[in-house]
Amino acid sequence: MIILYIILVIIVVFLALLLIAAIHTLTIPKKTSDYVPHPDEARTKLYSSKLSKMIRYDTTSYQDVHDREKFLGFHKVLAELFPLVHEKLEKMEIDGNLLIKWEGKSHDRPLVLMSHQDVVPAEGTWEHEPFSGDIADGKVWGRGTSDTKCSVMGFFQAVEELLEDDYVPENDVYLSSACTEEWAGDGCPKIVAELKRRGVKPYLVCDEGGGIITDPIGGIKGNFAMVGVFEKGKADVKFTAKGNGGHASAPSPNSPIIRLSAFVTDVDRHDPFRKKMLPEVAAMFRTLAPYAGTGLRYVFENLWLFRGLLTKFMPKISAQGAAMLKTTIAFTMQSGSDAVNVMPQEASVSANMRFIPHQGMNESLDIIRKRADKYGLSTEIMHANDYTESIDINGAAFHMVQDVIGRTFPGVAGSPYVMTGATDARCYQEICDNIVRFAPVIYGPEQMKGMHGLNENIECNCLQGCVDFYKNLIEENRD
C-alpha cells in the first residue's frame, strides 16, 4: 500500500511539473525570425565587385607550404581595392600575414577584426570555375567567397568607408589576416607574437566561425546570428595493432585488423565520453526556444525540467547537437597489408577527436587510450590542443556584440553556440579574454554545403550587412 501511495505521489508531482512547464511556455510570446536583407543596389554592386576581384586571385594554401610571394600578390589586390586603408594606416606584413593598425583616440580597448586570406584547394567540377569570381544568380561564386574572403572584404571596406568620412575610432582597431589558417599553420601565432611584443591586450577579438545561419536547428526557421563563444579542442590520434603476419590462406586468430575492428565497434556502440549541457549550450536553446514549434518550444523553454532528457536524446537527433554536448571521436583513416593475400604484421586506424570543457584533452585522451589498451593497441598522439575558454556570455563585451547584431540586423536573434571546428581565434586566447567567432553574412544550406566543397558562393545581398556590422562594432567600442 505504501509503495502504491509513493507511486501515486510521484505521478501527481510529475503531472504537476508538466502542467507548470506548459503554463510557463504559454506565458512566453512566440516569435518569428523574418529578417531578410534589403540592401542598397549600388552598394551591393560595389561590394560584390570587390569580393569578385579578391576571389579571382588564387590564395590556396597547402599543409606546411609557406608561399609568401603568393600572398604578397594578394596584398596588392587589397591595396587596389582599399586604397585609404593602405595609405593612412600602419601596415605590418609578417611572412605573408597581415596586421594593420588604425590608431584611435584611446588605447584602452583595442578591437581586433580578423579573418583569413587563404583558401582550401578547389577540386572537382564546378558550375562556375572556382577562381572565376563570377557574379551570377545574385551570388558571387568561387573558392573563398564564404570561407572567408567575404568577411575580409567586409572589415576592409568598413574601415575604408569610415576613413572616407574622416572618422577616428574611440579605441585602436587592428585588422588581422593570416595566410595559414586552413592548415593551422604559424601565421596567426606570428601576428599574436607581434601584438605581444607591442604590449597590446585586445578588449575584443571578432573572427570567423559562426554567422547568420538559416534554419540552424530542425523545426526552427529563419535567420539567426550564431555567435561562437569557444572552440572545442582537437587531436589527431593513431591506433596501431601488431601481429605475426603470414599467408591469408591460413589466418591466425585475433589479427591486427580484427582487434582494430573490435576497438572501433566498441567505441561506436559504447560511447566512452560523458554528455553534459554547458551553460553556453543551454543559453542557445533558451534563445531559440520562442522561435521553435510547439513541441520543441515546450522542451527548450523548460530546461529546468527537460535538460537531462534533451542531453540524453540529442545525439540521436542531431550530430551537430551531439558535438556540443561531449567529446567526439571520428575514425577517418586506416591501413593494413599491402597485398590482399597477406596478413598484416601491423595495421592502424586514425581518428580525429574534439574535446569538450567538462572532459578536456588530458582526460579524453586517457579514456580512449585505456579503451585501446583493452585490445592490445598502441596509441600515438600526432597532434593535440585543448579547448579554449569561453567569453563570458553575461559580460559587457558579449552584450556589445549582441547589441551590434540587433542594430545591424533588425529582428535577428543573437545566440551563443559552441564551435565544433577550429579557427585562428584560438591563438589570441593568451592575450584576450573576449573572443567571438562570427562572420556577419548569411549562410544558408547552399553556402554551408559549399564551404570546403563544390560551388562555393555567397549571396550578394548580404554583403552590405557584413560591412555595416563591422562599422557599427568599431563605433560601438567605446570606453
Which pLDDT does position 6 carry in this prediction? 72
Clarify whether residues 203 and 88 are in a common domain. yes
Using CA atoms, how far residue 230 sits from 233, 304, 317, 324, 385, in Å, is 10, 24, 23, 11, 13
Residue 94 burial (CB count, 10 A) = 15
Residue 217 has what DSSP assignment?
A: B
C-alpha 76/C-alpha 211 separation (Å) is 28
Long-range contacts of 442-447 (CB under 8 A, 24+ apart): 442/37, 442/211, 442/212, 442/214, 442/223, 443/146, 443/211, 443/212, 443/213, 443/214, 444/214, 445/214, 445/215, 447/146
Q: Is residue 116 part of a domain?
A: yes
HSE-CB for 399 with a 13 A CA cutoff: 3
Clarify whether residues 335 and 438 are in a common domain. no
SS3 letters for 329-380?
Answer: EEEEEEECCCCCCECCCEEEEEEEEEEECCECHHHHHHHHHHHHHCCCCEEE
Which of 385, 402, 435 lies at the terminal end of a domain, its last residue?
Answer: 385
C-alpha 380/C-alpha 373 separation (Å) is 12
> One-letter amino acid identity for 112?
V
Q: What are the grid coordinates assigned to 50, written together?
A: 570587390
H or E element in which residue 97 lies:
strand 97-102
C-beta of residue 391 within 8 angstroms of C-beta of residue 295: no
DSSP 3-state of 92: strand
> What residues form DSSP beta bridges with 90?
101
Q: What are the grid coordinates assigned to 302, written together?
A: 523548460
Q: Is residue 79 part of a domain?
A: yes
Which pLDDT does position 17 carry in this prediction? 67
Residue 392: φ, ψ to 5° = -70, 110
- Give the closest residue to 460 by CA, choosing from 134, 104, 101, 229: 134
Q: Is residue 28 part of a domain?
A: no
Q: Is residue 125 part of a domain?
A: yes
Which of 385, 404, 433 lies at the terminal end of a domain, its last residue?
Answer: 385
Clarify whether residues 276 and 298 are in a common domain. yes
Clarify whether residues 150 and 170 are in a common domain. yes
C-alpha 415/C-alpha 71 separation (Å) is 35
C-beta of residue 243 within 8 angstroms of C-beta of residue 256: yes
pTM over 0.95: no
Residue 461 has what DSSP assignment?
A: G
Clarify whether residues 295 and 348 are in a common domain. yes
Q: Is residue 17 part of a domain?
A: no
C-alpha 474/C-alpha 470 separation (Å) is 6
Find the CATH number of the domain harbouring 302. 3.30.70.360
Find the CATH number of the domain harbouring 117. 3.40.630.10
From the number of C-beta atoms within 10 Å of its C-beta (0-12, 13-18, 19+), residue 271 rates as middle
Domain total for the chain?
A: 2
Radius of gyration of the chain (CA): 25
C-beta of residue 400 within 8 angstroms of C-beta of residue 479: no
Clarify whether residues 380 and 405 are in a common domain. no
Which of 368, 385, 402 lies at the terminal end of a domain, its last residue?
Answer: 385
Which pLDDT does position 145 carry in this prediction? 98
> What residues form DSSP beta bridges with 442?
212
> One-letter amino acid identity for 422?
A
Clarify whether residues 117 and 201 are in a common domain. yes
- Give the closest residue to 347 by CA, choosing from 335, 358, 357: 335
Q: Which structural domain, as residue segments, surrounds residue 106?
A: 41-231+390-476
H or E element in which residue 100 lies:
strand 97-102
Clarify whether residues 186 and 216 are in a common domain. yes
- Give the closest residue to 423 by CA, choosing from 249, 106, 178, 226: 178
Residue 247 has what DSSP assignment?
A: B
Using CA atoms, how far residue 242 sits from 60, 255, 267, 333, 370, in Å, is 39, 8, 20, 17, 17
Calculate helix-pair angle for 41-56, 150-164, nearest 10 degrees. 130
Q: Is residue 10 part of a domain?
A: no
Contacts of 25 (CB under 8 A, 6+ apart): 297, 298, 301, 302
C-beta of residue 61 within 8 angstroms of C-beta of residue 185: yes
From the number of C-beta atoms within 10 Å of its C-beta (0-12, 13-18, 19+), residue 265 rates as exposed
Per-residue pLDDT tens listing for the chain (479 residues): 677 767 776 777 667 766 776 777 778 888 889 899 999 999 999 999 999 999 999 999 999 999 999 999 999 999 999 999 999 999 999 999 999 999 999 999 999 999 999 999 999 999 999 999 999 999 999 999 999 999 999 999 999 999 999 999 999 999 999 999 999 999 999 999 999 999 999 999 999 999 999 999 888 999 999 999 999 999 999 999 999 888 888 888 889 999 999 999 999 999 999 999 999 999 999 999 999 888 888 888 999 888 998 898 887 777 888 899 999 999 999 999 999 998 999 999 999 999 999 999 999 999 999 999 999 999 999 999 999 999 999 999 999 999 999 999 999 999 999 998 889 999 999 999 999 999 999 999 999 999 999 999 999 999 999 999 999 999 999 97
